[in-house]
Structures are given as structure tokens and as C-alpha cells.
Amino acid sequence: MNRKYDSNGKLRIPIVGKIAIPEGKVETESGSVIVEVAYCPNGHDLMSDTKVNGHKGINLIYSALNGSHDVSLILSPVVGKTDKVILSGEPFSDGEIIKILCPTCHVELDVLVTCECGAPVYIFYLDKQRRHQYGQSFCSRIECSKSSRFKFSQEVLADFIKDNCF
């Protein structure tokens, strides 16, 4: 049988047992993990000089699915925090699903998986090589328990595998 599948025919998705925090990409401070670099799929820097929770934040554009309006915002770089600063635009309503765009090239960020709520889980990268194992992910449904709360993509994939019985 092909190495992509196990002896039961299930797809193998390689996930390490422990999260590998990339050196020089994040900082650990008082038990928190703080993202220090962030890139869109095209390699544009998403870090902003605007500080959230005392650290440079992550600049993104939230866009309505139909393109009717955008919100430019800065998210907290502290993994697990949901604080943000809105630069422009009216906030979205709870429950809305949005597209997440790079503020430089306006490309939509990559989708890692679908959240349990049904919305796309987007990923931004901690290096320009688009390595998923070093990504940070979050749900695109406003007020989902996973929205605006970063998780390492390794955690998201491990949860997806467990929840979907791969």
C-alpha cells in the first residue's frame, strides 16, 4: 500500500506529537507565546508598528464575502488573546463569515481546514516559505470561539484529524 495511506486505507497526515515553536519567529514571555513575524502567502510582512498587548500587532483586512465592505485591523500577536485595534471600517456582526486578506497585496490568506462551525480556518505563515507547520491559524466566523484567537497550525491539524477520524 502507498505510504500516503495506513493499513486500513486511511490518509496519513503527518503531525508531530509536540508543537515545534520555531526559533526566532516567536517569543515566550511570562508563559505567553508572542508572534514576532507573520507573512501572507505572497511573502508580504503582516507585522504592524501599532502595538496590541504591548507588542507589534498583526495587520489584516477582514472583508465581507460579497466584497461590500472591509475592515482594516491589527490583531494581538499574543497566541490565545483576542484583543484588536480597528484602523478603519465598521465591525462585522457576530456570526458573519469573512475573508481574510493581506493589507499589501489584498490576496486572500490560505485556508488550512474548515472549523467545526463550518467557516474556513485561515493561516498566516511565520516564514516566507509557506511552511504550514510554522503557521498560525484562526477561524473566520466572527465570535466563533476560535476566531481571532491564534493557534499553531499543528494544533489545528491535530484537532481536525482527531475530530474527523482520519
Per-residue pLDDT at 162 exceeds 50: yes
pLDDT tens figures, 37-91: 899 999 999 999 999 999 999 999 999 998 899 999 999 988 778 889 999 999 9
Cα-Cα-Cα-Cα torsion 41, 44, 49, 50, nearest 10 degrees, comes to -40
**Nearest Cα residue to 82 out of 112, 123, 52, 121:** 52
Name every residue whose Cβ is closer than 8 Å to that of residue 120 and which is 6 or more positions away in sequence: 97, 111, 114, 139, 140
In a domain, 135, yes or no: yes
In a domain, 68, yes or no: yes
Mean pLDDT on 24-34: 65
Enclosing domain of residue 123 = 26-163
Q: Is the pTM of this model over 0.85?
A: no
Q: Indicate the number of domains in the chain.
A: 1
**Nearest Cα residue to 158 out of 125, 121, 126:** 121
In a domain, 111, yes or no: yes
**Which pLDDT band holds residue 2 (cuts at 50, 70, 90)?**
very low
Residue scoring higher pLDDT (3 or 121): 121
Per-residue pLDDT at 16 exceeds 50: no
In a domain, 59, yes or no: yes
Mean pLDDT on 105-121: 90
Mean pLDDT on 103-125: 90
Q: Answer for the pair 71, 86: CB distance below 8 angstroms, yes or no.
A: yes
